[in-house]
Every structure is written in structure tokens, then in C-alpha cells.
Amino acid sequence: MSIHQIPIVTVSYNAPELLQGLLGSLRRFYPNTVHVVDGSDEQHLPRIREVVAQFERVELHAMGYNIHHGPGMAWAIDHLGLQGRVLFMDTDVAVLQAGFIESLDEALRPGDYGAGGVAHVNREGFDIAYGYGAVPYLHPPCMLCNIEVMQQWPRPVKHGAPMVAPMLALHDAGQSGLLRKVDWAMNDVLMGTRKVYIDHFGKGTSSATGGYHLEEWMAEVQARQAQKPQSAPAQGFNPDLLALIPAQAKTLIEVGCSTGSLAHAFKTTRPAAHYLGLELDPLAAEMAARHCDGMVSLDIEGADESLYRDYADRDCWIFGDVLEHLRDPWRVLSRIRKIAPAHACIVASVPNVQHWSIQARLAVGEFRYEGTGLLDRTHLRWFTRVTLFELFQAAGWRIEAGVPRIFNEPGRDKVLPAIRAMAMAQGRDPDGAERDALPLQYVVRAVPA
């Protein structure tokens, strides 16, 4: 397929001026067929027809109702008989110069989902900084996709992040690598940047039509958020984990340091200590390297004995929400114990699977994996207070200090009496059962046994 044979799809709604701008600027450089999936009302549709009639090889598909951005793209995917590569563009985009289709075409490989601007969102579709749980998101203002691959994944959805359904599916299946990030494509859709190929006016359709009409989506998001147990406040790092690092620690190694927020907090007050980061995720490792004295990008469970010998001088090993992600945390802790000096310690934070919300969900069969939190779908191991002590003891360590992280969570007062009743039904201590159901997480410091 040549560049000029790639079909283009755009979704229009009550904004003939924006459509005029897109088609007029596009035709200065490209003759490609354009499919306009239009949801305009009767008042605006005649003007939409006039705009389309000005240009050759532009086909109008008038829906007769506000189909919305995501479903409009989904309709095109399912009903236009498209094959091969398809370029999706927003109507509030103007083409500045030729070359952007060529650039996207060069980036997109056979079997990829799409190429364009890739950023990160949470599971509701809102932009967030990169971190664990962040979902790579292909932005639709200008993206080139393999239509046959798109048809294998969920279709775009209604709201202001229309690609969130397929992006979540790719992320959860470990297939976000099917997205090709093109730097200019992200740059050109942001406000206040120096444009390369296109200019994105940003919420152009919203401004032209009085809004995205997303009240239903926002109501659904708010309802879901209200139903979820409150989690720990966002800190960027775990302050209780930081507080348990010994004052005398001089050589530290953080396993799974993510983007380096804990390293940054530690080095701010103790710059003389040597802080080494280990991180499996290459992007997170690149970001964390700015805050660490050294960085190694690897999977600690795949490392041989030489890694442990190389870092036998470390007097503090840090595992911030990492042990539960390991296949065999017992083995990792045991290998550290073999090489650690007598004064060394391990500082770790681990989620509490005995938390009241988990028990409540289990009681009604709702043990469902999620993107983040206690039921993070990447958790492989689960620990209570008792089994956490057993984990360290089995690996040759002794927990000498610990902090239960308890937060003011709505809904627990209705569940705790039932937890007490279950303990009494088994002849166990109801006070202990209630106490151990409160922490969302445990933070501990262990020393050689």
C-alpha cells in the first residue's frame, strides 16, 4: 500500500468549520480517501454536506445522531471494509506540512496495533505520570493503525479517552509493545509546543459544540470510585518505608525502585550515602537513574550468584511493594542472607491480604484482579501479618521493627463485626482478627537471625 492509498477516518460532530480546516489543510499535501463519520444534528448536517462536497475522494457517512468519537471510530472499523493501514485523525487538527503519514508508516510494523503519540493514563482514562499501573495510551488525534489488528481487540469507547478500552486490553494482556511511540505525534497534540507536522487545537470539538456530552461517563467513573475502598494517600513514596531505613545505612540497594521517588526522598536528606537502584522496567529505570548513584536494569530473580557477590557490601536492601510480585521471594531473601554482612538489614513494604476489604470481597465471591492496589493483577504472592513473619524467618531473617499502615477507610465498620464473628466461630481471638484486618500494608525492617 502506497502512502496515498492509506484511507483516513475522522469523526465529526456539529463542527463544519473544523472539518473544513482538516480537509483543506490535508488536501494541500495528500489526495488520500477520507471517510467522515458524522454525528451532527439536523441543524448542522447541511453545512457538513457542503464542506464534504468541496473535496474529491471524501465520503460522508451521516449517522443522524451524536455517535460520539469512540463509537464513530468503532463503526468505521466494523462497517467500512477497510484493510491494511488506516489513518485516524481528529477534526480539530490542521496539517502543516507533508511527511507525517510517511513518518507514521515507517514506524508501524506488521502486526503492530498502531503508531502515534503514546502517553500514560490510569484505568479510567485520565492522564497520569508514568509509574506502575500506568496504561500506555495511543492518542487518537493522529494515529496510523493496522485495521486487522484493531479488529482483534475491544473497540474504542464513548468518552474523552476513546481508546481506553483497547489500551486496557493490550496492557492487561502484556501486549502494549504493539504500540509504536512517535515523538512528534505526541508533541504536536500538546498545547504550547513548537509543531512539526500537525497542529491540534485541543478540545476543538468541545469548544465548537458546547462540550463532549460525557455526563454519563463521568457519572459512571464517580460511582465506581465511590464504591472502592479508600487506599493510602498518594505520596510519591512510602514515608513509613523511608522512616525504617537505619540512620547508619551507608550503602543501599533498592530492588524494584520504579521511577526513583523513594531514592529522591532519601538522597535529599542523606546525599553522602550510596544508593543503587535495580529496576526491571527500562522506562522506569531511565527515570530513576536521575535520583540514584547507580542503576541496573534487570530481573533480580533471573540474576546469578555474581550479582549477590557484587553487592555483598550493601548494608540495607529495600523492597518497596516488590516481594509480592516475585515468583519466589523466599529464595531471593535467602540469597541476600548468604552474602549480607552481620549489620545489614532488609526494609520492605508488603500489602496485607487479610485486609477487611479482601475478606468482604471473598465472602461474596468478588476476588477480581485490578490495575492497582491490594488486588493488583501482577501480584504473585500474598501475605498476612503472620505469614509475613514466617517468610522472613524461613529465609534467615528476624523482623525487629514494623509499622501497620492503617487509613480511615469508609465501609469497614460494617464488615469488622462479621470478621470478629468468623474468628469466634473458629475459636480464635476476635480482637486479633479485627486488629489484623485493619492494615492496608505492613512496613518492616528485618535483620539477620
Say which range, 179-183, 215-219, 353-357, has the weakest mean pLDDT. Answer: 215-219
Q: Decide if pLDDT at 271 tops 50.
A: yes
Q: Which domain holds residue 276?
A: 239-448
Same domain, residue pair 365 and 336: yes
Do residues 260 and 290 touch, judged by C-beta distance below 8 A?
yes
- Is the residue at 232 inside a domain? no
- Is the residue at 400 inside a domain? yes
Q: What is the mean pLDDT of residues 51-71?
A: 94
Same domain, residue pair 192 and 301: no
Q: What is the mean pLDDT of residues 147-166?
A: 90
| Residue 76: φ, ψ to 5° | -65, -40
Q: What is the pLDDT of residues 306-352, one digit of tens each?
A: 999 999 999 999 999 999 999 999 999 999 999 999 999 999 999 99
Same domain, residue pair 245 and 338: yes
Do residues 280 and 299 touch, judged by C-beta distance below 8 A?
yes
CATH number at residue 337: 3.40.50.150
Same domain, residue pair 217 and 286: no
**How much is the pTM?**
0.61
The more confident residue out of 124 and 442 is 442
pLDDT at 211: 46
Please give the share of the chain, as a percent, with pLDDT higher than 70. 91
Q: What is the pLDDT of residues 345-388, one digit of tens each?
A: 999 999 999 999 999 999 999 898 877 788 888 899 999 999 99
| Average predicted confidence (pLDDT) for the chain | 89
pLDDT at 216: 53
Q: Decide if pLDDT at 130 tops 60.
A: yes
Same domain, residue pair 415 and 352: yes
Say which range, 51-55, 289-293, 368-372, 393-397, has the weakest mean pLDDT. Answer: 368-372
Same domain, residue pair 217 and 243: no
